[in-house]
Chain A
């Protein structure tokens, strides 16, 4: 294809956007509405996932060590645990530290009358997981290590978090698929109405020998540009709403700030911007491509 033909098709596509103002407006509004819902759901779900992840990271398995282990053996056990891929962090807590924590947590006050450490056999490793669903596998491994006498784990919490994670994943995929299909349907209809009005134009092009590509290219470019515009509008809206919501929650419910730890807007938008633009362009492309095809058989 000659370069001036390519520029001609692009120019015609852009020109059509301004020429058919109402059609452009209707298409942009439809795409924006769909992508706005998508952006909103995406932000909520990513934050929810982030909160669950935070909860997961606070979850640890405690491996209590047998009394009287040498420092070398403790170091050896530690390195065996650290090597595991599901382990994100390992902290050694000596018997003395355990007792000190216990005293502090239970506000026991003066405990100088204890001549010996009552938790002498409670030196342990606090093991944090990178993937909470791997807890059982880790526990099985720890049980096989000589020098570990007991393992404390929150099996139910781990299971619940794994389940919540899975549900969030399924719900996200489900909502995204539904929104995508609804968008395609709505946009195809909007584009179909807009293009049907120009059916005669397509037929004239075909009668005088225009190829399918030449006929279709301006419409497809128009659809893609509408898609880009239609994706920027909801992105801007979601950006402001997200920031406002974060500020509102922080101000109104300060006590919940630990539990409702929102992701920074930049983190959410790192993925949301390319996904939204990609969806907008994709929807515009598919919508115009398929609709024009119906009128090409002249």
Chain B
């Protein structure tokens, strides 16, 4: 196993943390746990890659942060909210403070680009006049201002991911979770998306990207957390992709 970069030091106070996971374990069934005693602190405004093989626990981690799953044990704080103690009816409000992007885009296929992005605003009951102002603005940020009438199937993979990104960002979340955002994209589109994510991060949003894309991880020189069999095996500031033999 090869590691790159410098080992990370944890020094920031709890109020500076966007995400805190302490002794978090998650077991689906009896046997090998999907996550095993994971400790993770991510500061506000950080850009973090989470890498690892299939079955290493990356997706479980994202699902726990989204409160799609509850941990078997441990504590999870996201944006100051104790996710484990969160009541079911409070989940929607909590999720609105996060932006989420998936590998398969997850756009509403029967709605055009504008309506897909506006949908996130309607959920937070934004007045129509604000929606009419915010949606074109975010679409122009992701470079899709001219395609607001297009349906998802009329767009390329890269464009669809940008719509998903616009939808995730339109409510100005403090944290953006991206689960394999370049998994279905060619290298050029992958880089376009990563550049957008970096731009978003530069504006102060905490960005957490789960990826398999070795080239991007190595080139971007961001914090890299490597997982294996449900355990964090490496946490490097300005790290790279760890090769498995």
Contact = CB atoms under 8 A, between A and B. Distances in A.
A203 B104 CA distance: 13
A210 B128 contact: no
For the residues of A in contact with B, the DSSP-based class is helix
A212 B124 CA distance: 13
A211 B92 contact: yes
A209 B81 CA distance: 15
Contact of A210 (B92, B98, B168): B92
Given A210-B92, A211-B92, A298-B68, A205 B123 contact: yes
A199 to B, nearest CB: 12
Contacts of B95: 206-209
B167 interface: yes
B11 interface: no
Interface in B101-132: 106-108, 110, 119-120, 122-125, 127-128
B8 to A, nearest CB: 30
B93 interface: yes
A208 B108 contact: no
B66 A208 contact: no
Interface stretch (A2-10, A24-32, A158-166, A233-241): A2-10
A298 B89 CA distance: 12
B147 interface: no
B242 interface: no
Contacts of B108: 201, 204
Contacts of B122: 5, 8
B123 A210 contact: yes
B127 A2 contact: yes
A204 B168 CA distance: 12
Contacts of A8: 122
A4 B122 CA distance: 9
Nearest to A211: B92
Contacts of B167: 208
B4 to A, nearest CB: 33
Interface in A172-229: 200-201, 203-212, 214
A211 B122 CA distance: 11
A7 to B, nearest CB: 10
Interface residues of B, number: 25
Nearest to A203: B106
B100 interface: yes
Given A4-B128, A209-B92, A209-B95, A214 B68 contact: no
Interface residues of A, number: 20
B123 A204 contact: no
B242 to A, nearest CB: 30
B96 interface: yes
Nearest to A207: B100
A201 B108 CA distance: 6
Nearest to A4: B128
A209 B123 contact: yes
A205 to B, nearest CB: 7
A73 interface: no
Contact of A214 (B89, B123, B127, B128): B123
14 contacts: A2-B127, A4-B127, A4-B128, A5-B122, A8-B122, A206-B95, A208-B96, A209-B92, A210-B92, A211-B92, A212-B92, A214-B92, A214-B123, A298-B68
Going nearest first, the 4 A-B pairs with the smallest beta carbon separation are A209-B96, A209-B95, A211-B92, A209-B92
Given A208-B168, A209-B96, A209-B98, 5 more contacts: A203-B106, A206-B92, A207-B68, A209-B93, A211-B92
